[in-house]
Amino acid sequence: MRILLLVSAFNGLTQRVWCHLTGAGHDVGVELAPVFATPEDLVAAVEDIAPDLILAPFLKHRVPEQVWRRWTTVVVHPGPVGDRGPSSLDHAILDGRERWGVTALSAVEEMDAGPVWATSTFAMPAVPLAKSALYNGPVADAAMRCVDEVLRKVAAGEGPTPADDLPREVAGTGELPLLRRAAFELDWSLPAADLARRVAAADGAPGAPATVGGRRVCLFDAVATAQDLGGTPGAVVGHDGDAVAFATGDGVLWVGYAAELAERRGPKLPARLVLDPQRRSPYREAPEQLAEAVYERDGDVGYLTFRSYNGAMHTEQCLRLAAAVEKALTEDTRVLVLRGTEHTFSNGIHLGMIDAAEDPAAEAWANIQAIDDLCEAIARAEQTTVAAITANAGAGGVMAALCADVVVARDGVVLNPYYDMGIYGSELHTWALPARVGAETADALLQDKLPVGATRARELGLVDAVGPRDPEAFAAWLAERAREGGSGDARREGLGADAAGRPLSYYRTVELAEMARDLFDDRNGFAGRRRDFLRKAAPTETPERLRFPRA
């Protein structure tokens, strides 16, 4: 089937759909809706493509009538049957919904009002989950079920069903208004659990605004606890690593990330840098949900679980993780498993911290050196190392995982094993990537710059095995493989082979020489690309690598 993905951005869900469809043998192309100046331009592009199906897994823009009347156009909406509006997940989290869903509808004049091709519901977490984690987890899984049902119906010549003819699996749905930042304002006299829910609902964008010490800020990445640390509601009462604790009307709100809020919102940074820069508050132990690294043992297997907000790893964090790996390797264990959380793995260096630094080039240089230290700690380990890619990963995050002896992935994760920010990249990728997939495939991955689904990654040799999608089932599967030792000895022999006898320092030196030119000379526009990415600048064109070939 010839399928056009019409999207507002090539985000995680869109990439997962792209990987799934191309893996199933469909002819798939992408067009970014923001690049079209007029509806007529979009119509002309679709006419040229002549798709069998237009699928919109992530679309904030209106589809012109000239398009949806001529071509089957299905929009994936992050809400159950009957739900309408641009802030569906925000409302679902804020309202404490016990169940939510995803619906695939035909595009019509009214947004989210078309007949239904497919719908799938899921249980909402009892503890509020940040909107981005909810979107990339349960929502994305439900969306994939809907996509498969849409493809089945289109192939079978079936059509959609009017929404009014379908049962409402989630009661009380209807059209809900757009929620702007003011709707998430934090009132420090409220219980910490209520405030954490607001922060979760505003996660990513627009952020939950608050007043802290007379300053206006946006808060992200929050966890509520029942602690009583004293203090006036709204006062900073403790810190632990990058996290900061606030007194509330009942309990403590721990915050991992924050941003200045003036005329416009500043970059998201570790909370301690924004909210408690002098660390005037006393040290308090943060809840485990915000822990940067947790080490556990199961017999002769050690597990180091690391966490990074949105997958970005800043200089100090990389150094701390490298130290944590080295410490874990001193344990009397046979296997060390390095894993992310259910919601994040790693995307490499921290662009926000780099952009906010007084000298961005110097900070980027420090950051890349620090993540290289982490990669070397993994690569030089004497024990068998297993990297478990538990969530989507990109750039240096993928390359760091490849430094392990054995690499496994959770089903449904998407890897972006390339650098697309005007930098050459480091993380020992010139050693680990060709050793795994061969020089020709390594070059293609780096140059083509296309996402790779877990199944395709296994076929290419990027990962050794793919485990279940369900987090608990994956954890059990991972434990079994770790106890067996995986294929660590064979993989280490393959990665360590270098006919020329070149040490790891050779690869690191070559990579950093290229990175120095990118960071300090800005030869490929890293500074501008970084700013555009952080400010979510609208794209001006769809990358050629994603589009259907033009006549």
- Check whether 274 has a pLDDT greater than 50: yes
Q: What is the mean pLDDT of the chain?
A: 94
Whichever domain contains 254, its CATH number is 3.10.25.10
Instruction: Clarify whether residues 250 and 325 are in a common domain.
Output: no
Does a structural domain hold residue 351?
yes
Instruction: Clarify whether residues 478 and 335 are in a common domain.
Output: yes
Encode pLDDT of 489-527 as tens digits.
444 544 544 556 799 999 999 999 999 999 999 999 999
465-467/452-453 β-pairing: unpaired
Q: What pLDDT shows up at residue 490? A: 42
Does a structural domain hold residue 167?
no
- Check whether 151 has a pLDDT greater than 80: yes
Instruction: Clarify whether residues 151 and 192 are in a common domain.
Output: no
Please list, in sequence order, all residues whose beta carbon lies within 8 angstroms of the beta carbon of residue 273, skipping any fewer than 6 positions away. Answer: 242
Encode pLDDT of 306-337 as tens digits.
999 999 999 999 999 999 999 999 999 999 99
Instruction: Clarify whether residues 307 and 265 are in a common domain.
Output: no
Whichever domain contains 60, its CATH number is 3.40.50.170
Instruction: Clarify whether residues 119 and 222 are in a common domain.
Output: no
The model's pTM: 0.94
Q: What pLDDT shows up at residue 224? A: 97
Instruction: Clarify whether residues 21 and 142 are in a common domain.
Output: yes
Instruction: Clarify whether residues 276 and 296 are in a common domain.
Output: no
Q: Please tell me what DSSP assigns to residue 161.
A: B
Q: What pLDDT shows up at residue 497? A: 44
Does a structural domain hold residue 313?
yes
Taking each helix axis from N to C end, the angle separating 429-437 and 504-520, rounded to the nearest 10 degrees, works out to 120
Nearest to 436 by CA among 394, 464, 400: 464
**Tally of structural domains, the chain:** 3
Instruction: Clarify whether residues 364 and 250 are in a common domain.
Output: no
Instruction: Clarify whether residues 217 and 72 are in a common domain.
Output: no
- Check whether 278 has a pLDDT greater than 80: no
Q: What pLDDT shows up at residue 496? A: 47
What average pLDDT does the segment 138-166 reach? 96
Q: Containing domain of residue 314, as a range?
A: 292-520
Does a structural domain hold residue 535?
no
> DSSP letter string over 184-252?
G---TTSBHHHHHHHHHHTTTTT-EEEEETTEEEEEEEEEEE-----S-TT-EEEEETTEEEEE-SBSE
In this structure, what token pair is assigned to residue 103? 């619906």
Q: What pLDDT shows up at residue 263? A: 78
Instruction: Clarify whether residues 363 and 463 are in a common domain.
Output: yes
* Cα three-residue angle 290-294-299, rounded to 5 degrees: 155
Does a structural domain hold residue 530?
no
Does a structural domain hold residue 165?
no
269-270/252-260 β-pairing: antiparallel
What average pLDDT does the segment 219-247 reach? 95
